[in-house]
Structure 1
Amino acid sequence: MSNLRIISKEPADPVTSASSRLALLASLNCDGRHGLALIAAVAVLLLPLAGGAELAGWLRWSRPGLADGQWWRLAGAHIVHLDARHALLNAAGLALLWALFARSFRPRQWILAVLLIIAAVDAGLWYFSPRVQWYVGASALLHGVFSCGAVAMIRGGERLGWVALVVFAAKIAWEQWQGPLPLSEGPVITDSHLYGAAGGVVAGLLLRPRRERIY
């Protein structure tokens, strides 16, 4: 008669499980206030969808509108989108960049960086892209966040930052030479990506990155 062995599995330690979850959130920069800030940032990109085309038309970057003194469009254009898919893609991009770079600078520094990137995009479109009559979306801003984060990595002595920046520069150059990347949907103003990336590099050079990193 064979003997049966019963192997009992010890229950997981709740403290260890909680610590593991917190460590995972921290590695993605989604712990504590960083997590709440990410939720707020994503909401800023998605909530304007509730206003529909009317709100998007009121906030979008418009050359005739700006010429008439409608300055709110300089900021509003970066939080409204062509449609829900456009907004969701940018929200996903924001979450990815957040996981990579949220702790590269302090919150106040990131606010300054975002303002500088937005200013670079707005000024670039106005002065150097006279054919552009209107613009919406956060993609140019996200391009700036990426280049800013890559510069922070380089300044922190991380070689991967150089790789990221070179590949990113090649992507921008392709867009300037050949137009939008394959699979891009909707009208893509590639000049805005260039201006955003340039603004991000300037911001990354002007601001001092944080020394402490958790990943």
Structure 2
Amino acid sequence: MRQHQNKIISPWVLVAGISAVSLVLTLMEENLGELFRYERKAVLQGEIWRLISGHLVHANLAHWLMNMAALAVMGLLFPTVLHGGRAAMLLFSLCLMTALGLMVLFPQLEWFVGLSGVLHGLFAVGALQVMSVESKRGWVLLGLLIFKLTYEQFGAGLPASQSLVGMRVISEAHLVGAVGGMIYWLVSRFFRGQKNNGP
């Protein structure tokens, strides 16, 4: 019983922790001269913490609330993805993969803030994990993700989100984060298979 309770509680401990740290950084950002947001030039000059902190700081409280609500939904949809030490490694990896991917693939993007790229990566990991157990439901989730990404890349974006955030929604981060999540899931599945087939 205790083990089962831990599996339920653990994702919410992680969600609460990320929300608290993110809120503090968001409130501090204006007074610290944009010290935490991702800035490509600053990262290239050695301020590598921005590869992580850029995902945690937000443009304003509405932006923060929107992303934390989405993170809570991830906890409901994919509780096993956000459980335990592997979840921390997943989040850290998605932060790095998204930021580095944007640096390489979209060098014209000078700066960004927000967790949405990582959230799309989490959704991709969750959808693929569900697919390995419930194929039909997993394909539906993955299809919804692909539809959203396609609409953002070739459509008009999401005006309601842009209005709340007060800045352009960085759809490039959504795409890179989702692809990063798929890569993470495939690589981790490969190594788990290697471990299971080992001596």
Q: TM-score band (shorter)?
A: 0.7 to 0.9
| Secondary structure, counterpart of 1:58 in structure 2 | coil
CA positional deviation for 1:34: 3.6
Whole-angstrom distance in 2 between the partners of 1:157 and 1:56:
47
Paired residues for 1:5-154 under 5 Å? 31-55=8-32, 57-104=34-81, 106-154=83-131
Cα shift at 1:94: 0.5
CA distance in 2, matches of 1:105, 1:204: 14
Moved more, 158-167 or 78-87: 158-167
Please give the root-mean-square deviation of Cα atoms over the aligned residues, in Å: 2.5
Structure (1 or 2) with the larger CA radius of gyration? 1
SS in 2 for 1:163: helix
Distance change >3 Å, CA 165–CA 55, structure 1 → 2? farther
1:204 to 2:161 alignment: no
Give 1:180's aligned amino acid: G
CA shift, 1:199, in A, is: 0.7
- Secondary structure at the aligned position of 1:184 is classed as helix
Q: Partners in 1 of 2:98 and 2:83 — Cα distance?
A: 23
Match of 1:177 among 142, 151, 154: 154
Residues 1:71 and 1:83: Cα distance change in structure 2 (over 3 Å)? same
Matched to 2:188, the amino acid is: L
Kindly state the Cα deviation for residue 167 of structure 1 after the two structures are TM-superposed: 1.4
Structure 2: runs of 5+ lacking an equivalent: 190-199
Distance apart, 1:104 and its partner CA: 3.7
The change in CA–CA distance for 1:166 and 1:48 in structure 2 (over 3 A counts) is: same
**CA shift at 1:114, angstroms?**
1.6
TM-score, normalised by the number of residues in structure 1: 0.77
Q: How many residue pairs were aligned?
A: 185
Sequence identity percentage: 30
- Indicate if the aligned counterparts of 1:49 and 1:83 stay in contact, CA closer than 8 A: yes
Cα distance in 1 for partners of 2:33, 2:121 equals 22
Question: Is the Cα–Cα contact under 8 Å of residues 143 and 193 in structure 1 kept in the other structure?
Answer: yes
User: Any unmatched runs of 5+ in structure 1?
Assistant: 1-25, 209-215
2:31 and 2:102 mapped to 1: Cα distance? Answer: 23
Q: Deviations over 1:123-144 (max 9, x none)?
A: 2211111211111100111011
Shift of 1:207: 2.9
Letter in 2 for 1:61: Y
State the alpha-carbon separation in 1 of the partners of residues 105 and 175 from structure 2: 11
TM-score, normalised by the number of residues in structure 2: 0.83
Q: Name the CA distance, whole Å, in 2 between partners of 1:133 and 1:158.
A: 39
